[in-house]
Amino acid sequence: MLPEIKLSVRTLVEYVFRSGSIDNRFRTHATLTEGTKAHKAIQSTYQESDQKEVFLKTEMEYEKLMFMIEGRCDGVLLRDHDILIDEIKSTSKDLSEIEEETYPVHWAQAKVYAYMYAKDHEQKEMNVQLTYIHTVTEEQKKFQRHFTFQELEQFVNELVKQYFPYASLMENHRIRRNHSIKKLSFPFAAYREGQRKFAGAIYKTISEEKNIFANAPTGIGKTISTIFPTVKAMGEGKLERMFYLTAKTITRQTAEEAFSIMKTKGLCMSAITITAKDKVCFKEETLCQKEYCEFANGYYDRINEAVLDIFSHETFINRQTIEEYARKHTLCPFEFSLDLAFVADTIICDYNYIFDPKVSLKRFFDDHKRQSALLIDEAHNLVDRAREMFSAELQKSDFLTLKRAYKGSDLYESVHKINKSFIEMKKKCSEKGHLVWEEIDEDLINMVEEFVRNAEFELLQPTKSVDQTSLLDTYFAAAGFVRISKLYDERYVTYVETEKNEVHIKLFCLDPSHHLQQIRKKFRTTVYFSATLLPLQYFLDMLGGTSEDYTLSIPSPFAKEQTEVFLQPLSTRYHDRDHTKKQIIDMLSKLLRERSGNYLIFFPSYHYMNSVYEDFTASCPEIRTIIQTNRFDENEREQFLREFKEERSEPFIGFAVLGGIFSEGVDLKGNRLNGVIVVGVGLPQLCLERNIMKDYFQTTGKNGYDYAYTFPGMNKVLQAGGRLIRSETDTGVIVLVDDRFLTQKYQGLLPMEWRDFTRI
Average pLDDT (56-76) is 96
> Which of 346-360, 428-442, 677-691 tops mean pLDDT?
677-691
pLDDT score for 30: 52
Read off the pLDDT band of 32 (50, 70, 90): low
pLDDT score for 639: 95
Task: Tell whether the torsion through CA atoms of 749, 750, 756 and 760 is positive or negative.
Answer: negative
pLDDT score for 71: 96
Whether residue 465 is predicted with pLDDT greater than 70 in this model: the reply is no
Whether residue 106 is predicted with pLDDT greater than 80 in this model: the reply is yes
pLDDT score for 398: 97
CA-nearest of 308, 298, 296, 278 to 332 is 296
Query: What is the number of other CB atoms lying within 10 angstroms of the CB of residue 451?
Result: 25
CA-nearest of 316, 177, 311, 188 to 236 is 177
d(CA 310, CA 336): 11
Please state which of the four CATH numbers 3.30.56.10, 2.40.37.20, 3.40.50.300, 3.30.420.340 is assigned to the domain occupying 560-759. Answer: 3.40.50.300
CA-nearest of 281, 289, 339 to 310 is 339
Task: Tell whether the torsion through CA atoms of 291, 296, 300 and 301 is positive or negative.
Answer: positive
The DSSP code for 228 is H
Read off the pLDDT band of 40 (50, 70, 90): confident
- What predicted TM-score, i.e. pTM, was given to this entire model? 0.92
pLDDT score for 333: 98
Residue 540: what are its φ and ψ, rounded to 5°? -60, -45
Average pLDDT (413-441) is 94
Strand order in the sheet with 675-679: 624-627, 652-657, 598-603, 675-679, 732-737, 563-568, 758-759
d(CA 473, CA 465): 17
pLDDT score for 31: 56
4-164: what CATH class?
alpha beta
Q: What is the largest CA-CA distance in the chain?
A: 97
Element (H, E) at 309: helix 299-313
Query: What is the number of other CB atoms lying within 10 angstroms of the CB of residue 575?
Result: 7
Read off the pLDDT band of 464 (50, 70, 90): low
Q: Are 511 and 542 in contact (CB under 8 A)?
A: yes
pLDDT score for 708: 98
Peptide bond into 569 cis (omega under 30): no
Read off the pLDDT band of 445 (50, 70, 90): very high
The ranges of the chain annotated as CATH 3.40.50.300 are 560-759
pLDDT score for 331: 98
Please name the fold of domain 391-509: Fumarase C; Chain B, domain 1 (1.10.275)
What mean pLDDT, rounded, does the chain reach?
94
Terminal CA-CA length for the chain: 74
User: What's the chain's length in residues?
Assistant: 760
Average pLDDT (722-729) is 84
Window from 352-361, 417-426, 592-601, 745-754 with minimum mean pLDDT: 352-361
Read off the pLDDT band of 79 (50, 70, 90): confident
Could you tell me whether strands 598-603 and 652-657 are parallel, antiparallel, or unpaired per DSSP bridges? parallel
Element (H, E) at 131: strand 125-134
Cite the DSSP H helix spans in 314-376.
Answer: 319-329, 333-341, 352-355, 366-370
d(CA 631, CA 628): 8
Average pLDDT (30-55) is 81
Using a pLDDT cut of 70, give the percent of the chain over it.
97
Long-range own/partner contacts, residues 31-34 (CB < 8 A, 24 or more apart): 34/90, 34/135
Q: Are 589 and 651 in contact (CB under 8 A)?
A: no
Whether residue 26 is predicted with pLDDT greater than 80 in this model: the reply is no
Average pLDDT (285-295) is 92
The ranges of the chain annotated as CATH 3.90.320.10 are 4-164
Q: What is the pLDDT of residues 500-547, one digit of tens each?
A: 899 999 999 999 999 999 999 999 999 999 999 999 999 999 999 999
CA-nearest of 682, 420, 441 to 573 is 682
Q: What angle do CA 381, 385, 391 make, to 5 degrees?
A: 155
Whether residue 23 is predicted with pLDDT greater than 90 in this model: the reply is no
CA-nearest of 83, 148, 70, 140 to 109 is 70
Q: Are 332 and 22 in contact (CB under 8 A)?
A: yes
Read off the pLDDT band of 25 (50, 70, 90): low
The ranges of the chain annotated as CATH 1.10.275.40 are 391-509
pLDDT score for 560: 83
pLDDT score for 251: 84
Q: Are 293 and 332 in contact (CB under 8 A)?
A: yes
On the 0-12 / 13-18 / 19+ scale of CB atoms within 10 A, 122 is exposed
Average pLDDT (17-30) is 76
Read off the pLDDT band of 592 (50, 70, 90): very high
pLDDT score for 727: 79
Output 665 or 397, whichever has higher pLDDT.
Answer: 397
